[in-house]
Every structure is written in structure tokens, then in C-alpha cells.
Amino acid sequence: ILAVGVVIGLSIGVIPGLGGVVGLAILIPFTYNLDPFTAFALLLGMAATTTVSDLIPAVLFGVPGTVGAAATVLDGHALARAGQAGRAFGAGYAASLFGGVFGAILLAATIPLLRPLVLYLASPELLSFCIFGLSMVAVLSGRAPLKGLTAASLGLMLAMVGSGAQSGTLRWTFGTLYLWDHIPLVPLTLGIFAIPELADLAIARSSIARAGLATDLSLASQWRGFGDAADHWWLVLRCSWLGAILGAIPGLGSASIDWIAYGHAMRTEKNTELFGEGDIRGVIAAESSNNAKEGGHLVPTIAFGVPAGASMGLLLSAFLIHGFVPGPEMLTKHLDITYSIIWSLTIAHIMGAGICLSASGLLARLAMVRVGMLLPLVLAVVFIGAFQGSQSWGDVYSLVLFGGFGWVMKRLDWPRPPLILGFVLGAIFERYFFISTEIYGSSWITRPIVVIILAGAAAAIWRPLLHSVRDTVGSLGRLRLAMIRPNHAVAFTAAIILAIALAFWFSRDWPAEARLVPRAASYAALAFALLNLATELFASPDPAALQRAKALVGGLRERLPHDDPPVAPPLLRARAARYFAWLVGFLLLGAVIGFLPAIWCFVLLLSHLEFAERWSHALLASTIATLALWAIFDRILAVPWPQSLIGDLLPALRAATGLL
């Protein structure tokens, strides 16, 4: 039964947008007639391994299988483009295996020891953890801290969209019902990360890996990745420990833990210039923490009955269904159940890593599949993954909108991880800020753990910010206007400043408690964006940037990150425009004929008309993809499909199919 759960979890983790929450919701009804040991083996086998297989789409397509794998995309996909998908798989699975087992062992050893600490943590400590997570922005921004801080502030502003938790005020919803319940995380993450990577793939018109580089797919290449993880055992251990500890903190959220671990690796490792461009240490750090957090999540769930996340909330319901009340009894009277859970978690990680390792050689060969066959299928999965955000057309609209924004950010060298980190921590930050100030007043900042954590956050952000601001102010003092600067970079920053100013204006009539955090985020975003604009206008460019600017002005062809051969700028713009036109076309077609029929047409027409695949190949691919998605999401998950125009006109057809 544990093996069945592992296979289900691996299958769910590969599909973007799904995760442990969906898997637990599916499987819990099947455990009603099982004994507790078997039931928890099934549930934990599934929940543990979604964070193992989510590595596969992150490496191959730049599409995070779950939101916890977003940091893996940065270096994992870059390695796949360089023909080292097998190495990325091996390192990722080794780190996943060690992190998962470490988290389980830590769970076994520290439940009694962590009880006083977890009970001591109150809203001020949780707020300080959020601030520490936000301090990772400066690290994740690389050589552009001002851009990263601006993006993080924009993420905080996006997190404020919707009904305010304190006052119920509708903030930046613009009369749209979809935005009342906030922007879902999955469409935003897929839009910022997946759509831009797939756009570059469509523009380059080549397979994922550059020609002649994706040949080392043997088991030996994966063992090389295992060797990388062994060489960096201290990094694996640190990030596993960090993931397990942060996972034990209720309310921090799974989506932020891997970013914090990734930022920790960038701060503490040497020679980090290649982080984000194919450094194997980035994969190791993200994957070890991503899997170790599962053991950490179980600490407050089992010991105190406090779920650390949505998936643990469902697991808590499974405890109650089978007659167990989490708390002291799980550490005394039902200790056998507790340790069966720990062993299930441990063995599931070992089985999951073994299965993925045996199949990853075959999976890595997807890196050489023609883009005309692969890209439409991946886009179809991304569309339906984004649709799981709130199961409305608004999710797919958000996907395309943020996809365009993310692609522009990528082309103009704006770091995208800070935006996601700011979004993930925004709502948590606001909630704990109000609770802390209401209960403790201003004295919350003097609590010992808070002081220690805030000192670490200040140390993380002060140096890169000071260096960037000093250079900008010095350049302004000299009034040195850079003569060669791509105008679109300045225009993009100016557009962001205008958007921030408009958002600030629309918040003028909100109650004080509703506008406090949004306006603070707006002030920060505006200040950082203005400093960045000054940098782009006046700061002297570094030699590498100057050479790139000269190449553009001189009409030389720009090389995409994985482009072989290079693409001329006019052709690049034309292909990008057609790519996003296809995405908008899917939205229009789906509104007319329904979601699944639109996917069938989209895959068929995109493969044949845009990439010149044969009609027979395109028809076969579109039919298989649509039937597979129908079986999973309609028959198994019973997803309520959004209404379409043809369904409104022909209600009998809608009633007969349930798809329109």
C-alpha cells in the first residue's frame, strides 16, 4: 500500500498545479475501511513523494511541479539546457532522498524536545521569520539588488489584492469578483516561471538542450549528480536542517522554505557567480530543504494538533477519522502509530528516489524531443495546472498576464524569485503584524528570539543595498549619463513606477488598518524603483553590460540563453508576439467552445500551423493529451469546468457532456 501511495504521489508531482493537497483530498475517502497503519502508509507515501517528482518538470521544462520546486527551476533548467539533465536529476534525487530521510529522523528525535520551543513561538516570532525570509531578496537578486527589492515590494502589493483580513475592505479588485479572494499562487508561479521559459523555447525553435549537448543521459551521468551531492554534503545537511526546522513552524508556508534555503546557499557558499545559471549547488540546496520540510510539517501536526500547512490540515482530518487526537497521546498512548508514520515517511522517500532514478534516463530524453511536439503538450498541462488555482477562467487569464510580465522581466534581467517570495510572505506578514501589534504593542520587537532573527535579517540585506545605493547616489552626484542604454529597460521601469503610483492613488479612501501594509509596500516599491531608474539612466554600466548594449545598437544578433543558432532581434520579437498571440487565442477559443475542446484545438493547430508538424502527428498528440487530461481531471478529480458560450447556447449539450 505504501508503494501504491508513492506511485500516486510521483504521478501527481509531475503535473504542475497539483500537489499534496489534491492527492490527500483524493485518497482520504479510500482509507475509511483501512486500519490506521495502512491508511497512513497510503497517505504519507503519496504526500512525501510529490516533492520528489516535482523536480522532473522543473528541470526539463522550467515548470515547477509544485510551488515548492520553484527555486529548483533556476539552476535545474539551466543545466538541462546545457545538456546535463541527467546530472541535475541525480543531484536532485540524492538531495531529496537525504533531505526527506533527515526530516523523518529529526521528526523521530525531536518531537519531545521541540514541544517547549514550538509552544513558545507566538506571532512576534512568526513575524520575524517572515521578515527574515524577505531579507533573502537581496541575495536572490544577484547583481541587481534594487531590481530585486522592487520586485519583492511588487510581490507584497500583489499579496494585498483582495478582501482585507482585518477590515474586509476590497483592495485593488477594480470591481472584479475573481480578485475578491486574492490572486491564487499557482497561476502566478506558473506565469512568472513557466510561460517565459516556454516562450524562449518557442522562439529558439530547438529542443530543450542545445544541439549535441543532450547526449549524456546514462546512469553514469546521474551518478555524477549523486557524487555532486556527496561532495557538497555539508550544504545538503545545512539546507535539510533549515527545511525541517522551518517546516515545523506553522503558517510559514511551503512555498517560501526552498527560497530561504536557496538564499542561504548563495550567502554561505563560495564562488556563487553561476547561481541561477546552472550551478549544481542551487539544485542541491532547493531540493534538500524542499523534502526535509515534510518531516518538519508533521511535528506540530502530531504533537500539538496544529497543521503546518493545507496538506497537514487534511492529514489532521485523517487522524480524526481514524479516532486519533493529535497531542500528548500521540507521544505516549499511540507512540506505535507515530513511529509507523515516521517509518512510512522514511521508506517513501527512499522508494520515490529509487523509482525516479530508474526512470530519469528515459525522462531526460524529452530534452531532445522536437519543440513542435513537446511545447504544445507542456502548455496544455500548464493551462490546466493554472486552472487548479480557483477553477475559473480568471486563473488562466492570470497565467497569461503574469507570463507576459515574467517574460519581459527575464529579457530585461529583472530577478523573478523576489517577486514570488514577496507574494508568498505578504499575507502572512500582514496577519502576524496586526496580531503582534494588537497583543504586544511595540514591545513585540524586544522579545529575545525576535531580536536575534531581525539582526540576521538586517545583516543579510544591509550590505548589498548599501553598495547599490552608494553607487547610484555617487553617479547622480557626477551627473554621468550613460550614452548607450537600451531604452526599453528605462521604459519598463518607468511603467512600473506609474503602476505603483496608480495603485497608491486607488488606496487613498481605504480605512487606516486596510491600507497600512499595502501603502508601506507601495512606498518601498516606489523608492526602490526610482533608485533603479536613476541607476539605469545615470550609473556607468559595467563592461559586460556596455558590450551587450553596443551589440544591440550595432544591429548584432542577440543570443537567447539556450538559443542555437542565434535569433535576430526582429525575428525574436515576431516569434514572441506570435507565441503570446497563441496563448490569447486559447483564452478566446476556450470561452467559446469550452476548456477541454479548446485544449484539443490548441495543441493540434499550434503543432501544425506554428511548428509545421505533420497533421497526423499533431492530431495524435492533441487527442492523446486531451483524453488523458479528461480522464484525470474530469473522471477522477471531477473538476467543474467553466461555462462557455456554446454551452449557454446549447444547454442540452452542456448537460450531456459536462464540459461546456
Q: What is the pLDDT of residues 377-424, one digit of tens each?
A: 889 988 988 887 778 889 999 999 999 999 999 888 888 888 887 887
Say whether pLDDT at 429 is over 50: yes
Helix or strand (DSSP H, E) at 471: helix 448-478
Phi and psi (nearest 5°) for 171?
-110, 120
Q: With cut-offs at 50, 70 and 90, classify the pLDDT of residue 105.
A: confident
pLDDT of residue 350: 87
Task: With a cut of 70, say whether residue 554 has pLDDT above it.
Answer: no
Using a pLDDT cut of 70, give the percent of the chain over it: 82
Helix 254-268 / helix 70-81 crossing angle, nearest 10 deg: 60
Residue 305 is predicted with a pLDDT of: 66
8 Å CB contact between 161 and 419: no
- pLDDT per position as a tens digit, 571-582: 888 999 999 999
Q: Residue 276, exposed/middle/buried by CB under 10 A (0-12, 13-18, 19+)?
A: buried
Q: How confident is the model at residue 361, as a pLDDT?
A: 65
- Out of 36-50, 413-427, 480-494, least confident range: 480-494
Q: What pLDDT does residue 309 have?
A: 66
Which residue do the cell numbers 509552544 mark? 119
What is the full DSSP assignment across 197-242? HHHHHHHHTS-SSPTTTTT--SHHHHHHHHHHHHHTHHHHHHHHHH
Percent of the chain beyond pLDDT 90? Answer: 14
Indicate the pLDDT class of residue 602, thresholds 50, 70 and 90. very high
Q: Please state which of the ranges 281-290, 293-302, 542-551 shows the lowest mean pLDDT.
A: 542-551
219-237 pLDDT, tens digit each: 777 888 888 888 999 999 9
Q: Which of 23, 20, 15 is nearest to 65 (CA)?
A: 15
Enter the C-alpha cell of residue 70.
520553484
Convert 407-448 into a string of H (helix), E (strand) and C (coil).
HHHHHCCCCCHHHHHHHHHHHHHHHHHHHHHHHHHHHHHHCH
How would you write 152-204 as a 3-class SS string? HHHHHHHHCCEECCCCCCEECCCCCHHHCCCCCHHHHHHHHHHHHHHHHHHHH
Mean pLDDT (whole number) for 4-26: 77
Q: What is the pLDDT of residues 67-80, one digit of tens each?
A: 777 788 888 888 88
For residue 25, the 8-state DSSP code is H
Query: Which of the two residues, 121 and 551, has the higher pLDDT score?
Result: 121
Average pLDDT of the chain to the nearest whole number: 80
Query: How many Cβ atoms sit within 10 Å of the Cβ of residue 636?
Result: 10
74/421 Cα distance (integer angstroms):
14
What per-residue confidence (pLDDT) applies to 599?
Answer: 94
Q: Max Cα separation, the chain?
A: 76
**Residue 601 pLDDT:** 94
**List of residues 6+ apart from 621 with CB closer than 8 A:** 373, 376, 377, 603, 604, 607, 613
For position 587, what pLDDT does the model report? 94
Mean pLDDT of 324-338: 75
Q: For residue 634, count CB atoms less than 10 angstroms from its CB and return exposed for 0-12, middle for 13-18, buried for 19 or more.
A: middle
- The confidence score (pLDDT) of residue 556 equals 32
Mean pLDDT of 344-358: 86
Rounded Cα distance between 626 and 148, Å, is: 39
The structure's pTM equals 0.78
pLDDT level of residue 551 (50, 70, 90 thresholds) = very low
Q: Using CA atoms, how far apart are residues 214 and 423, in angstroms rounded to an integer?
A: 35
DSSP string, 349-373: HHHHHHHHHHHHHHHHGGGGS-HHH
Mean pLDDT is highest, among 23-27, 127-131, 359-363, for 127-131
CB 100 within 8 A of CB 50: no
Q: Among the listed ranges 17-26, 347-356, 385-394, which one has the minimum average pLDDT value?
A: 17-26
Rounded Cα distance between 271 and 354, Å, is 32
Per-residue pLDDT tens for 147-200?
Answer: 888 998 999 999 999 888 777 788 998 888 888 888 888 888 888 888 888 888
Using alpha carbons, select from 137, 114, 341 the residue that is nearest to residue 249. Answer: 114
- Span 557-570, pLDDT tens digits: 333 344 444 677 78
Residue-wise pLDDT for 109-152, tens only, equals: 776 676 666 667 778 887 887 788 777 776 666 677 788 889 98
pLDDT at 609: 92
